[in-house]
Each structure stands twice: as C-alpha cells, then as structure tokens.
Amino acid sequence: MYYDLFTDWKSVQDEFSMDEPEPDEVLVAAYEYEDYSGSADVFYRRGDKYYSVSAGHCSCYGLEGQWEPTEYTKDELVAALEKGQYYHKYCDINDVRGVVLSKLKGEA
C-alpha cells in the first residue's frame, strides 16, 4: 500500500535517492509532506525478514541519505509495533501502525 507522495517502489527510490531493488512485499510506504516538512514510514518484506525505515525532514531538504532499514523477524516487528514503536498517524484516517499489524497478523 502506497500513500500520499509514494505511489510505487520507484517513487520510494527517488525520494530516498537509493537504488535498493523492489522487495517481495511492501506492507506500507507512506510519505506525508506539508508546510515545508515531511515524514515517511516504509515497511516491507524480503524473504522471511521484515524491514522498517522512518525518516523526516524540514525546510528544503528531503529524504535523501536517510535510507537505513532496521531488520526484524515477523514476531519482532509485531512486538515492536504492539509496544507502540513507529506509531505514525497518517492523514488523520490511516494508522500506518495498525495497517502493518493487520497485514502481519493476516487480518488485512
């Protein structure tokens, strides 16, 4: 699922100025930009490993140079999200944390 300024994997690559190949599954990639600042969360899977990237910026800078994935097992990512880590309220209607948890638990 891609939200706001992220429309596909190429847009994620472009905004972060990285060339990592498309993962097996993108759980959520969201990039909110407003008032000269932005924040992004990307959750994806490669094989049996899960990854998250969180980044932000203000003023005229962008997301470039902030692609630093954190690796998890599925259980580790579920536990981290259930503890409230990476909570990001996106556009007042999409709770990224909730969407990712639902997908990981097979509810979505």
pLDDT digit string, tens, across residues 21-65? 999 999 999 888 777 778 888 999 999 999 999 888 877 778 888
Q: CA 104 to CA 102: how far, in whole Å? A: 6
Kind of pairing between the strands at 25-34 and 2-4: parallel
Which pLDDT value is given to residue 6? 92
The per-residue pLDDT for 86 is: 52
Which pTM does this prediction carry?
0.83
Q: Is the pLDDT of residue 94 over 60?
A: no
